[in-house]
Homo-oligomer: A and B are copies of this chain.
C-alpha cells in the first residue's frame, strides 16, 4: 500500500518536472518569437499551452484520487498539498509565456520590442530561464542549496524590471505610447513568471527543510513598487 502510494507520489513529482520543462520551453520560445517577430514560433507557443493545462488537470485528478484512496497524513499529506500548489504556479507560468507570445503575434510583422530595450528584454528572458531551470532542479532532486542562488536571480529580475522602466521614462524614448504599453505588460509577464517559479522552489524547499526558504516575502507577493518607483 505504502509502496503504491510512494510510486504514485513519484509520478506526480515527475509530472511537475515535466511541466517545469514545458513552461521553460514555452518562455524560451516566446522570447525568441518576441525578439525575432517570428509568427510561427509565437503560434506554436500559443497552441501548445493546452498541453500544460492538460498536465495540470491530470495531476490534479491523480492527487485527488491519491488523497481519497490512500488518505496520507503528516509529511506525505504535505507533499500532495504542496504538489497542488506548485501545479497552479506552473500552469500560470505557461499562461504568462502565452501572453508574451500573443504580444509577438499581435504586432507581427513588426517587432513589439524597440531596439533600445531589446537587450533588457533578452536578459529578462535569460534570467527567467535560469530561474525556471533551477526550479526544475529543486523539483527533481529537492536540492535545498539553490535557495540563495534563486534569491539572487530574482533580485536580478527585479533590477532588469527597473532598468526597463528607466528606458521607458528616459528622454530618449521615441516610440510613443503603444510600444510603452506593450513593454510595460511584457515586463510584468516576465516578472510574474519569475515570481511563480521562485514560489514553486520555495514550497519544495519548505517541504524538505520544514523551514521557509530565506527569501524575502516581497518575492511571493509579486511587489512591483520598486519597478514602478523608478
Interface residues of A (CB under 8 A from B): 64, 67-68, 71, 73-74, 77-78, 81, 84-85, 88, 95, 98-99, 102-103, 106, 165, 168-169, 173, 177-178, 180-182, 184-185, 188, 221-225, 228-229
Task: Give Cα distance in the complex from A145 to B4, angstroms.
Answer: 42
Question: Nearest Cβ distance between residue A227 and chain B, in whole angstroms?
Answer: 9
B222–A95 CB distance below 8 A: yes
Expressed in whole angstroms, the minimum distance between the Cβ of A144 and any Cβ of chain B is 21
Chain B residue contacts of A64, Cβ below 8 A? 77-78, 81
Name the prevailing secondary structure of the A interface residues.
helix
Give Cα A177 to B230, complex, Å: 13
B169 touches A178 (CB 8 A): yes
| Copies of the chain in the assembly | 2
Whether B182 contacts A228 by the Cβ 8 Å rule is yes
Q: Which residue of B lies closest to A112 (CB)?
A: B228
Cβ–Cβ contact B184 & A181, under 8 A: yes
A177 contact from B68, B71, B78, B168, Cβ within 8 A: B168
Q: How far is the CB of A30 from chain B (nearest CB, A)?
A: 14
Q: Is the CB of B77 within 8 A of A185?
A: no
Q: Is the CB of B95 within 8 A of A221?
A: yes
- How far apart are A55's CB and chain B's nearest CB, in angstroms? 15
- Minimum CB–CB distance from A221 to chain B (whole Å) comes to 5
